[in-house]
Every structure is written in C-alpha cells, then in structure tokens.
Amino acid sequence: MELMWRTSHVSGGNAHYVEALYEQYLVDPNAVPDEWRNYFDQLPRPEGSSSHDVPLSPIRDQFYQLGKSRRRAQTASAADSGENKKQVKVLQLINAYRFRGHQKADIDPLDLRSPVPVPDLDLSFHQLTNADLDTEFQTGSFFLGKDKAPLKEIVQALDETYCRSIGCEIMHIVDTEEKRWLQQRFESVRSKPKFSPEVRKHVLERLSAAEGLENYLASKYPGTKRFGLEGGETFVPMMDEIIQRAGGYGTKEVVIGMAHRGRLNLLVNILGKSPSELIEEFDGKKVIERGSGDVKYHQGFSSNVMTPGGEVHLALAFNPSHLEIVAPVVEGSVRARQDRRDDPAGDKVLPINVHGDAAFAGQGVVMETFQMSQTRAYKTGGTVHIVINNQVGFTTSHPDDTRSTEYCTDIAKMVQAPIFHVNGDDPDAVLHATQVAIDYRQQFKRDVVIDLVCYRRRGHNEADEPSGTQPMMYSKIKNHPSARALYAKRLVEEGVLSEDDAKAMGETYRDDLMAGNHVANALVKQPNTELFVDWGPYLGHEWTGDADTTFDMKRMQQLAAKMCEVPDGVQVQRQVAKIYEDRRKMQAGGMGLNWGFAETLAYATLLDQGHPVRITGQDSGRGTFSHRHAVVHNQKDGSTYVPLENIKEGQPRFTIHDSYLSEEAVLAFEYGYATTMPNALIVWEAQFGDFFNGAQVVVDQFISSGETKWGRLCGLTMLLPHGYEGQGPEHSSARLERFLQLCAEHNMQVCVPTTPAQIFHLLRRQVIRPLRKPLVVMSPKSLLRHKEATSTLEELAHGKFQMVLPDQGKLDAEKVKRVVLCAGKVYYDLAAYRTENERDDTAILRLEQLYPFPKEELFEALKDYTNLEQVVWCQEEPLNQGAWYQSQHHMRVVADMLDNGLGRELKFAGRPASAAPAAGYMSVHVEQQRQLVDDAFNA
Ligand code: AMP
C-alpha cells in the first residue's frame, strides 16, 4: 500500500490536482475528463455505502474527506464554486507545463526545431483568461517558495523553469520521490541557479580550451579528419563538471565511452593527453611496436585528475567505428571495477556514455544497454548518458528519416531515466542540467540523460562539405557565433570579466598548446597507480599452450565434496538432487566423472587458488542442457543456494547469473569486464552457439582485434554449444568457420574439448597461465551425457589440456594406413564405427585446439604411423563450414612434415556444401552423419 501511495499518479505532486478533480467529479461526474471519471468510478466502496462514500486507501480516504467537505460546500455560494474551479484549472496548467513545457523550450541553438502546437500551455485551454492573471491561486506542489501567488507570477515561473534553455522530461517517472526531487531541483531555481563569477569564468576557460584546440588543429591540419567538436564545445565544461562533482562525491574511477566526434578534444582537454603526442599522430610520426594500431579518434586513454574529493582515475574506452557498441563495454568495465572495490551500490565508480543523436535513436544496442541498467548481473549504479546532439547523422537530418520518436532520447524513457534537453549555447543551463544529472545519479543510482542540443559546424568530418545536403542548416551555421563567443559576450555584459580577460583566456590556451604543455588543468602528473589494476604480470607473454593446471588430489577431493554440499534447509528438486547425488558418487570414485562435474570442479579449484569467477549467459545457472545446476533452487520457498559461493572462508567472488535475453550488449559487457579484471575467469555462455550471431560486432571489433588495434588484452571465455544432432539448421552450429576466419597473429584460441578432463584443464589454463587471450569453446550438447565421455579424478589432478588427443585405441602403429583427424563430438561416432567394424588400420586423432594450430603436437601424434597412406579430415559440418577451409593448410603442412606427400592428399569427409548450417529433417541428418563417418574410413 505504501508503494502504491508513493508511486500512484494520484499521489504526491499530483495529489492536489487529483483532489481538485475529484471535487469536481463529486459535484458533477460529467465535468471531468472521461479517463478520470472512469478512474473515480472504479474506486471500490464498502458494503452499504452510498456512492462516493468511505473509500479504503489513504487517497480514497482523502477523497472521502473531500467528498464530505464538498457536500458542505454545495451549500456555499456559486462564486466560491467558480473560484474553486479556477483553482483546479491553475493546478492543471502547472501540470501541463511539467508534462509538455519541454516542447516549447528554447533548446535549439539554430532554432531549426519545427514548433509543435502545445495548446495545454495556453491559459485559454484551461478556461483561464488574462483577467485572472492578478488573482492569487494556490501553487499546490509547484516549488515556487510560497503557497499562493498571482497567476501571472505562477505562469512566469513555469515558463522560466520549463520553457527556456532546459527542456525537462521527468513526468514519465513513476516514483514520486524521484519526480518530486527533480521538480524541486528545477522549479526552486527556475532552471537558472546563480553561479558565482569564479564558476562562470572557469566555464568560459574550458569553453575556450575546447574551441582553441579545434581552431589550432583546423589551421595546422586543414582538411585532415579529426571529427571536431565545433558547435558542441559546451561538452567540455560539461565533462569537466561531471568529473569534478563526482570526485566530490567520493568517486574514485570514471570510465567514459564515446564515439569519434569530440574525442580528441576530450582526450587533450579533459584526460590530459599530451598535445605533443597528438601532434605526432597528426604528423604521422607515431610508430607502434606491435599490432595494427588504430586511428587517433578511436584511441582510449587513462589518466588521473584531481577533484575536491581527491584523485580520480579516468579511463576512456577504446572504440571502434561501430557506434554505440562501446556503451555496454564501458558498463562491463565499470562493473569489474565496482566488484574489485566491493562497491555494489556504485558509489566509487561512475560510467559516462557519450552518444551521437542519430546513433542513439537508431541502434538497438542502446535499448539493450538501458535494459541491463538495473539487472543484478549488469547494474552499475546508474550511468550518465550524454547525447552530443548536433541534429544530423553524417548527411541525414530530415526528421522523417532519422527517427519515429519525438526526441532522439525517447528510448531512455523505457527505464524512466530523466532526460534534460539543454541548449548547448547556454553554458549556465548546461552546467545546471549537469549538476542535477550527477546529483540524481548519486542519489537514486539510476540512469540519467543529458541531451546537449548543439550543431556541427563542419561536415561529418573535415574533408566533407555539408551544405550539399543540408543547405538551410549550414547557411544558419555559417553566421552563427560560437558558444564561447556568445558566452564571453554575456559574461562581459554582465560584468563578470572584461573583454580583454576573455580574449586572454584563448591566447593563454593557444600558447600552452603550442608549447606542448598539458592543457587539462586538473591532470595529476604523478598519478596514484593504486587506483587501477596493474596489468604488468600479464604483459609481454608470447603464445604458449602449456600451463601447469595440475591440482593437489587431496584438496581437489575436499573441494569436490564442498561443491556437492547443500544445506539441510534447502529442499532440492528431484532431478537436481539426482545430479548432485551422482556428483557425490563421482567424488567418491564410484562413477566416471562427467562434464558438469569437471567443469564445476575447475571453477572450484580456481576459486580456491584465489581467482574470481564470473559466468553469465542465457540460462547459465542451470545450463541450457541442464548439466550445470550451479544454482540450487529451494523447492520450499524459491530461495537459491550456490555451492560455489561457499567453497571456503574468504574465497574470491563467484558470480553466476542468467542473463536477460541479449547477446550483443551482454557479450560487449563481458568483454569490458574481462579487459578490466585480468586475474579472473570470465565466461559468457550462449544458450546455443549460434546465438553469438547477434553479437558478431563484438567478436569482430573487440574480441578478435582489440589486442592488435589497441594493445588491450582480454581473457574472456565464450562457451558456445555446437554439434550436429538433427535439431535443424538453427542451433546446430556455433559457426566455427567464422571464428577461424578471424584468427591470425595468435589473437585468440578456438578449442573443441571432447572430454571432462579437457574442459577442466582448458578452463584452468585460461587463468593459471599469465597469458590473456580470448578463448572460444565449441562446447558440447549431447556429449554432456555421453557415456564414453568421462574422465577420472587422476586425469583432473595430474593431467593437462592436450591440444591434440592421440589415438585412444591399442593400435599397432605400423599397421595404421589411415589417420582420421577430427574435432568435437564426431570423434565418438568415428570411434564407435571403428570398434564395430574392427578397423585397426585407422587411427583417430582429435584436434582439441584448432587455433593457434598445434602443429608440433599434431606431428608428434602422427609421426609413429610410418606406413601411413591416407590422412582424412572428418567433420560434421558441411564442406563450406566448420574447420575445413580455414584449417586445412595447417593440416597439410603437418602431413607434409611426414615427408611422404600426404599433405597434398589430405581428404575431406563431411556434409556436402550447404547454404544452411544443417538439415531440417532428422532422417536426412542421420543419413548424412552415417555417410560422413563411412567416408572417413572408406572414401
Ligand atoms: P584503465 O584502468 O583502464 O585506465 O587502465 C589502466 C592502465 O592499465 C592502462 O593505462 C593500461 O596500461 C593498463 N591496462 C588496462 N586494461 C588493460 C588491458 N586489457 N590490457 C593491457 N593493459 C591494460
């Protein structure tokens, strides 16, 4: 009831208005709008009561009291009733401004916004006239500083608050406390607080810096692409304010994501990148030791700045051209930092995501990122979103083309984020909106959006002529003074500083720039390195597939027992109990170890050795195929118990979450997390392997290439269920070929483990080795329960991940004429065929790692077969898919090392080339599978 009262639209700020309406309704139900009449009609009444009597809830109680007083009032004079009616109208007018004032606000510096009619803001709409302007009315919940005021004053205050340089959208917020808080922040100062001369001079100085850098680069490198900020310079004082204010709140780290526009300006003027370094990049002098590198407007950066609350570490995320995808990466990085600091509320680390207007409205990942903002697995205590809204996306600006929503920010309403549209030419207003935004985030730990409405003085980039496609916009821009010029003029007029002082600011900045001095005035020259992680131990390692992943048997037994323990009070569901029971038998040595056991034990051992483990993905608590059951659901009360959280006292964090149904944002988040938390095992699991299709951009632009482009190491593990089991074109293939096609320069590992011991050692290798490389695992489905796919505790304790599994049969090497190479579950079909057909002339080798290709290990496994005549690659996937096209050259090289020309003879056994990943009919699947196994032995 309390919640209903706090959040209901008939409560809080709206209560006076609703009460007044209700009064009207009691007198004449037809006098109120239909929806309100319907609403009031529905209010339940206790038995025996007559209409409108004795309601039940507090609001209804109020209505009851109102009703009684109304009945008394019915006897009062007609004049009184007329006054009351007007009072209702005034309250309606106040509400109308709160709802729709932004539509009339002066937020566009170019004044290009087509005016929309907002009749609700006219007096006449509310049956008020100029004759009422001098009459005093109650101000209701409007924060005017007094209970009563003449209508004239109320209207003026409303207009100043809601229709000037800030257009506030807050009425979609359901929570009354939040809404009242926001209303108070704007209404009490009429959206225009009085900033001190020092503050305003500082803003002008930062504006001069923003403009100064662009002017300098424009004159020195005309026509060179830099995606300048011109037109949106107020962004720089805005960022400065957010960081300083956040620092004042005790924030220790700020992670920023942004696309290319304005990035150089942010780098130099806020993060403190050295201007001389930037100039080197412009001059093309910068050389890199390794990797491809990336263009300057994609570069990330890290630095520390001083704030009123102490030193704050800033990290600007590296960013590909794919717009908006960096936003969830930033969230992941922030969450990793919050986890490291044990900061679940998000007090210590702040995410800022900077967007372009066109991309914010257009890209689906924006919605996915908002959707994650309050979920258990992904929340970061609220993000400050800034839209650099230059009202054009490359060459597209016609409102009928860019979006269907009214504003480019409307998507943010889905999480009830407050949205402040603010005129970029009014730095005071920008400062106010910024302060409210950061205060709101700190107070309510929710997302907030600042829509910085500005323009783009040049084309999409500096080599681009914009007037060809935007003639009207650019004829306006040509004659439009810069934000700095306008603000300087205003401050001079208001006597804040002299014209000479204003000019000097620009000159000082330019001198510093030319001297190569740092121009971010808060930069800390000797940064406190404790504010961020030391990646030193993980840097500079060459590729190796080896790692000591063995584990003490006795301790492993103890951990195995622990991971099977469920407290007495937890009533375990029947099938789950059976799985746990089986695991206990495995631990006791009475049963071969299965996949679920080995995988869970890998996590337990890593936790025991001090490595945090985080697993998220679709249904990963249970596992798509019910093999994991890492989260036990108490059948009595729905509570959960996670054995891996209870391995030992003081153990590292174990996190497992079912993700919401996203791939793109979620995988990007985990990439961000893994690139920030090097000592942990970070796993993303797809429900079926092909679900990663929805996140291809993350694989292409971050996972496979982030290290070579940006030197950012990443140890993320992707578990992608893969295997041909007759379930149709969808969900059979995790598109192995796509990953292999992206492989080069040892950028990532692609593995297809086929035994429990192999997944145990593979997962452990990922963390135990200091090397940090993404790991793509084609993980099993039916193999999870295959009776042949078992391992022993000894193999776990004493083994290692074998990149090539040699033949498991007891063959006489000299008799072997044929070797079948394969990867994945087809091995078990091949092995069954061999047993059934007694083919001791054929060895079967499993490539458990396809990239980096284990040439030496494969050679080792082949070299004893001295009478070999045929090497066959067998795969379940069609000819044009799987590993064949991407890996055959590696296999040929190894077969050639045998020095008998076998490499050139390498044969293929698999499904015929196919446009779809798999057949849709079980009968076709079965026949294809039989044929490819047969081909492997006989073709
Ligand atoms: P950050 O906290 O992201 O600003 O990172 C601080 C410093 O750690 C950076 O300047 C890098 O030198 C290093 N670093 C951060 N992330 C990585 C990574 N994924 N790979 C390698 N070095 C990193």
- pLDDT tens profile 466-483: 988 999 899 999 999 999
| pLDDT at res. 375 | 97
* CB hemisphere CA count around 510 (13 angstroms): 14
CA of 229 from ligand 1 middle (Å) equals 26
Angle at 184 between CA 162 and CA 150, to 5 degrees: 65
Could you tell me the pLDDT band of residue 484, with boundaries at 50, 70 and 90? very high
CA of 677 from ligand 1 middle (Å) equals 10
Q: Mean pLDDT throughout 906-929? A: 95
CA of 675 from ligand 1 middle (Å) equals 8
Q: Which atom of ligand 1 is nearest to the CA of 531?
A: 2
**Beta carbons of 28 and 72 less than 8 angstroms apart:** no
CB count within 10 Å of CB 121 equals: 21
Which of 533, 707, 708 is the pocket-test mutation for ligand 1 (most atoms within 8 Å of CB)?
533
Q: Which atom of ligand 1 is nearest to the CA of 706?
A: 19
Q: Mean pLDDT throughout 22-39? A: 67
The rounded Cα 161 to chain-centroid distance in angstroms is 33
How many Å apart are CA 910 and CA 888, to the nearest integer? 13
Protein residue whose Cα sits closest to atom 10 of ligand 1: 302
Q: Is the dihedral of CA 168, 173, 178, 184 positive or negative?
A: positive
Beta bridge partners of 654: 613
Domains and CATH numbers, the chain: 2-187 (no CATH), 198-459+509-522 (3.40.50.970), 553-791 (3.40.50.12470), 807-938 (3.40.50.11610)
Percent of the chain's residues with pLDDT above 90:
80
Q: Assess whether pLDDT exceeds 50 at residue 1.
A: no
DSSP state of 653: P
Q: Assess whether pLDDT exceeds 70 at residue 519.
A: yes
**Beta carbons of 723 and 692 less than 8 angstroms apart:** no
Which of 271, 532, 671, 705 is the pocket-test mutation for ligand 1 (most atoms within 8 Å of CB)?
532
- pLDDT tens profile 864-888: 999 999 999 999 999 999 999 999 9
Q: Which atom of ligand 1 is nearest to the CA of 302?
A: 4
- When mean pLDDT is compared across 393-407, 632-646, 695-709, the lowest value belongs to 393-407
- pLDDT tens profile 747-764: 999 999 999 999 999 999
Structure tokens at 350: 């702040």
Structure tokens at 867: 């009478």
**Secondary structure in 3-state letters for 751-788:** ECCCCHHHHHHHHHHHHHCCCCCCEEEEECCHHHHCCC
| pLDDT at res. 80 | 57
CA of 317 from ligand 1 middle (Å) equals 10
Q: Mean pLDDT throughout 640-649? A: 97
- When mean pLDDT is compared across 251-255, 364-368, 724-728, the lowest value belongs to 724-728
Q: Mean pLDDT throughout 33-46? A: 61
**Beta carbons of 202 and 361 less than 8 angstroms apart:** no
Side-by-side strand order, sheet with 681-685: 654-658, 613-617, 681-685, 717-721, 775-779, 749-751, 849-851
Residues in the chain: 939
How many Å apart are CA 628 and CA 603, to the nearest integer? 12
Could you tell me the pLDDT band of residue 139, with boundaries at 50, 70 and 90? very high
**Beta carbons of 872 and 908 less than 8 angstroms apart:** yes
**Beta carbons of 356 and 421 less than 8 angstroms apart:** no
Could you tell me the pLDDT band of residue 3, with boundaries at 50, 70 and 90? very low
Protein residue whose Cα sits closest to atom 17 of ligand 1: 712
Could you tell me the pLDDT band of residue 643, with boundaries at 50, 70 and 90? very high
**Beta carbons of 773 and 708 less than 8 angstroms apart:** no
CB crowding 620-633: b at 16 or more within 10 Å, else e: bbbbbbebbbbbbb
| pLDDT at res. 223 | 84
How many Å apart are CA 575 and CA 592, to the nearest integer? 19
Q: Which atom of ligand 1 is nearest to the CA of 314?
A: 4
CA of 713 from ligand 1 middle (Å) equals 8
- pLDDT tens profile 251-271: 999 999 998 889 999 999 999
**Beta carbons of 278 and 224 less than 8 angstroms apart:** no
Could you write out the DSSP letters of every residue in 340-372?
Answer: HTT-TT-SSEEEEEEEEHHHHHH-HHHHHHHHH
Beta bridge partners of 683: 615, 717
Could you tell me the pLDDT band of residue 28, with boundaries at 50, 70 and 90? low
- pLDDT tens profile 766-818: 999 999 999 999 999 999 999 999 999 999 999 999 999 999 988 999 999 99
| pLDDT at res. 50 | 37
Q: Mean pLDDT throughout 276-292? A: 80
Mean pLDDT, the chain, integer:
91
Q: Assess whether pLDDT exceeds 50 at residue 181.
A: yes
Residues 6+ apart with CB under 8 A from 294: 318, 709, 710
Which of 253, 705, 712 is the pocket-test mutation for ligand 1 (most atoms within 8 Å of CB)?
712
User: CA separation (Å) from 590 to 145, 681, 787?
Assistant: 78, 30, 15
838 Rama class: left (phi>0) / alpha (psi -120 to 50) / beta: left
- pLDDT tens profile 52-94: 343 334 455 555 554 454 444 444 444 457 778 999 999 999 9
Q: Assess whether pLDDT exceeds 50 at residue 597.
A: yes
How many Å apart are CA 91 and CA 155, to the nearest integer? 11
SS3 733: coil
Q: Assess whether pLDDT exceeds 70 at residue 417.
A: yes
CA of 316 from ligand 1 middle (Å) equals 10
Percent of the chain's residues with pLDDT above 70:
91
Could you tell me the pLDDT band of residue 21, with boundaries at 50, 70 and 90? low
Protein residue whose Cα sits closest to atom 3 of ligand 1: 315
Protein residue whose Cα sits closest to atom 11 of ligand 1: 535
- When mean pLDDT is compared across 196-205, 258-267, 345-354, 835-844, the lowest value belongs to 258-267
- Ligand 1 binding pocket, CB closer than 6 Å: 302, 315, 532, 535, 675, 712-714
Torsion of CA 365, 366, 370, 371, to 10 degrees: -30
| pLDDT at res. 27 | 64
Which of 255, 256, 302 is the pocket-test mutation for ligand 1 (most atoms within 8 Å of CB)?
302
| pLDDT at res. 817 | 95
| pLDDT at res. 294 | 84
629 Rama class: left (phi>0) / alpha (psi -120 to 50) / beta: left
Q: Assess whether pLDDT exceeds 80 at residue 25.
A: no
Q: What is the CA radius of gyration of the chain?
A: 33
Q: Which residue has the tokens 């990963």?
A: 620
How many Å apart are CA 364 and CA 366, to the nearest integer? 5
